[in-house]
Chains A and B, each alone.
Chain A
Amino acid sequence: MPMTKVMEGNEAAAYGVKLSRVEVIAAYPITPQTELISTLASMIARGELKAEYIKVEGEHTALAATAAASAAGARAFTASAAQGIVYMEESIWMPPGMRLPVVMCIVNRAIAPLGGLRPDHNDSLLQRDTGWIQIYCENGQEVLDTIIQAYRIGEDKRVYLPVAPCYEGYVVSATATPVEIPDQEEVDDFLPPYKHEMYSLYPENPRSPPRLMRSIAEARYEVQQAMERAKKVIEEVDREYGERFGRYYDGMVEQYRCEDAEAVMVTMGSITGTARDVVDELRAEGKKIGLVKLRVFRPFPTEEIQEIGKRVRAIGFVDRNTSYGAVAGCGIGCIETARALYPLDEHPLLLNYFVGLGGSDVTIPQLRHIAKRILKAAETGKPVKDVEWVELEKLEE
């Protein structure tokens, strides 16, 4: 029987790793990821998880060792955050290029300077070009479920790419909520043992995917194609997970109360939970607002965003990141959304809202303000401002 208990997001993540029967973990501690890997170390010490824990001297080695273990045929895991991710950068490019389905949790934390211990999305979004699948989780339950899904997605032979389940430090990592732990047997049924058909480090038959390609361009194109194929795999895996375990996250994108919406706000990660309450409140007042949860940022859900773009008058992207000097002063999510909408014959208005930068709290009044501004733009056809730094604005009541 599945068991439910109150636990923090990091503990939920550790259960996800344990249930996935990960065989090698190489990690270096950093706030706010520490409790995740210390929980895993305890599980191994108690004999609950049969895995090799490699203690390394830094994040660069952590991922190098994880990738090597994956190449050697082990299901491998690591996790990091902020400065750790940046320090890891050289290693981060290895698993996608080598087509290794490792899983790494990015426990989002703002990069210093101009950041503290608390989260924004710049550390993970910085990796958007590297070939990692990125799934943003709203709460501890989704973290646990997503880690199990991540191995199924990455190890699918149509994909063979690394997957990063991303969740915000503190807000998700140290927040305790009731989390259901699925049965090990059912997870075993859902996630068969890891076997890489394109990889062999055995001397009698050595092979690796990039070596099978004629040119680097072809190898890169193959990564791009794998990303495109991953869209379908993510949807399939999530749907099957939902049928087996009762929790379906709508694959790439969740649309919350979008049926007849004239305006939608797009969120990622934990902000979505707060935004649901705000949308409910405004819906009760008769406002036609909807919420789009961008669950997967890589591969980007182009088709889903286009489909929404055809139906609504205004889209507001809530960006918890900065891209200094980027086109029109926009955040990363808004820029991607703009390209998705570009081929449409008729565009909705596209607005951009910066929140929670450097780890500040994203509050109900802020999200209410954003929703009202998007609604106003949908109504009048003219935004108050295209791009807003919400913390610096006088909020609408």
Chain B
Amino acid sequence: MLRGFLDEWEDGLLKEIRFHGMGGQGAVMGALILAEALFSEGKYSQKIPVYGAMRRGGSVTVFLRIDDKPIRRTCGIYEPDCIVVLDPLLPKFENVTEGLKKDGIALLNNPKPPEEVDLGVEVSTLATVDATGVSIEVFGERAIPITNTTMLGALSRVTGWVKLESLFEPIKKTFPGRIGERNVIAARMGYDRVKVMKREV
């Protein structure tokens, strides 16, 4: 079994993740894949979309909750345990770290190692992966690089909240055929290439 950098799953603890992306990068689809992967592990999951303008290029926020018991609350997530930012430019014009818990995790699509990234706030775990680079390698040049599956692979490694292998079936179900296989490769590359920096906050 592949293990994450952080602690193993702790029972009875609600985890809240907030995805930030641009329309077309697959934030909504990615969160749904993660929800299915978690469910296949016997955990409860809940995906709530906060659509901006529902079109390519607009910014999109998605909430995802994980728990070992049914999730009842339906409100948005204001103090996430983890943020996942699918686009390297997004932190420049959107306050992606708003409300992030003090011991929270920030996972960014960024080609730089975490030591060289200035998020503007101190976070206890900062992780980066060049998901745009992976997208170009795996899917080729596109107007809007698809980064969701790479970020999910990285998320698995950084948080340990979901097993990498659990992502594969929902990915293949969402993208049938060769595209699915490529997305599995992208998830593996995200898992392998993510870099993590921890510090006391």
Q: Given known contacts A170-B51, A176-B35, A177-B45, is B74 in contact with A363 (CB within 8 Å)?
A: no
Q: Which of A186-194, A272-280, A299-307 contacts B (4 or more CB under 8 A)?
A: A272-280
> Across the interface, do A364 and B74 meet the contact criterion of CB distance under 8 Å?
no
Contact of B47 among A175, A273, A276, A362 (CB under 8 A): A175
Q: Given known contacts A6-B36, A6-B39, A170-B51, is B74 in contact with A175 (CB within 8 Å)?
A: yes
**Per-residue 0/1 for A111-131: is the Cβ within 8 Å of any B Cβ (1 yes, 0 no)?**
000000100000000000000
**Per-residue 0/1 for A291-332: is the Cβ within 8 Å of any B Cβ (1 yes, 0 no)?**
000000000000000000000000000000000000000000
Determine chain B's interface SS by DSSP, over half rule.
mixed
* Among A273, A276, A363: residue with most chain B CB under 10 A: A273
> Across the interface, do A273 and B73 meet the contact criterion of CB distance under 8 Å?
yes
Q: How close is A8's CB to chain B, nearest CB, in angstroms?
A: 8
Q: How close is B62's CB to chain A, nearest CB, in angstroms?
A: 10
> Across the interface, do B74 and A273 meet the contact criterion of CB distance under 8 Å?
yes
Q: Given known contacts A170-B49, A176-B46, A178-B39, is B74 in contact with A6 (CB within 8 Å)?
A: no
Q: How close is B36's CB to chain A, nearest CB, in angstroms?
A: 5
Contact of A274 among B45, B47, B50, B74 (CB under 8 A): B74
* Chain B CB within 8 A of A139 CB: yes
With the chains together, A363 CA to B79 CA distance in Å? 12
**Per-residue 0/1 for B38-81: is the Cβ within 8 Å of any A Cβ (1 yes, 0 no)?**
01000011111111000000000000000000011111101000
**Per-residue 0/1 for A198-220: is the Cβ within 8 Å of any B Cβ (1 yes, 0 no)?**
00000000000000000000000
With the chains together, A6 CA to B39 CA distance in Å? 7
Q: Which residues of chain A are within 8 angstroms of B74 by Cβ–Cβ distance?
A: 138-139, 171-172, 175, 270-271, 273-274, 362
* Chain B CB within 8 A of A258 CB: no
* Chain A CB within 8 A of B151 CB: no
> Across the interface, do B49 and A174 meet the contact criterion of CB distance under 8 Å?
yes
* Chain A CB within 8 A of B32 CB: yes
* Among B44, B71, B75: residue with most chain A CB under 10 A: B75
> Across the interface, do B72 and A273 meet the contact criterion of CB distance under 8 Å?
yes
* Chain B CB within 8 A of A240 CB: no
> Across the interface, do A274 and B75 meet the contact criterion of CB distance under 8 Å?
yes
Contact of B78 among A4, A6, A274, A363 (CB under 8 A): A363
Q: Given known contacts A6-B35, A274-B73, A277-B73, is B78 in contact with A176 (CB within 8 Å)?
A: no
Interface size on B, residues (CB 8 A): 19
* Chain B CB within 8 A of A361 CB: yes
**Per-residue 0/1 for A1-17: is the Cβ within 8 Å of any B Cβ (1 yes, 0 no)?**
00011100000000000
> Across the interface, do A175 and B75 meet the contact criterion of CB distance under 8 Å?
no
With the chains together, A10 CA to B83 CA distance in Å? 27
| CB-based nearest A residue for B50 | A170
| CB-based nearest B residue for A361 | B76
| CB-based nearest B residue for A274 | B73
Q: How close is A265's CB to chain B, nearest CB, in angstroms?
A: 15
Q: Which residues of chain B are within 8 angstroms of A171 by Cβ–Cβ distance?
A: 48, 74
Q: Which residues of chain A are within 8 angstroms of B76 by Cβ–Cβ distance?
A: 361, 363
Q: Which residues of chain B are within 8 angstroms of A4 by Cβ–Cβ distance?
A: 39
With the chains together, A363 CA to B78 CA distance in Å? 9
Query: Which chain A residues numbered 135 to 176 have a C-beta less than 8 Å away from chain B?
Result: 138-139, 170-172, 174-176
Q: How close is B196's CB to chain A, nearest CB, in angstroms?
A: 28
* Among A139, A175, A277, A361: residue with most chain B CB under 10 A: A175
| CB-based nearest A residue for B78 | A363
Q: Which residues of chain A are within 8 angstroms of B36 by Cβ–Cβ distance?
A: 5-6
| CB-based nearest B residue for A117 | B51
With the chains together, A19 CA to B4 CA distance in Å? 41
> Across the interface, do B32 and A175 meet the contact criterion of CB distance under 8 Å?
no
Query: Which chain B residues numbered 90 to 126 have a C-beta less than 8 Å away from chain A?
Result: none
Q: Can you report 9 A-B residue pairs in the complex whose CB atoms are below 8 A from each other?
A: A6-B45, A139-B74, A170-B49, A174-B48, A176-B47, A271-B74, A274-B72, A363-B76, A364-B73
Point out residues on A near B: beta carbons under 8 Å: 4-6, 117, 138-139, 170-172, 174-178, 270-271, 273-274, 276-277, 361-364
The 5 A-B residue pairs whose C-beta atoms are closest, nearest first, are A273-B72, A176-B47, A270-B74, A274-B73, A273-B74
Q: Please name 16 further chain A to chain B contacts, defined as beta carbons within 8 Å, in addition to the given A172-B74, A177-B44, sorted by A numbering.
A: A5-B39, A6-B47, A170-B51, A174-B49, A175-B48, A175-B49, A176-B32, A176-B47, A177-B45, A178-B39, A178-B45, A270-B74, A273-B72, A274-B73, A363-B75, A364-B75
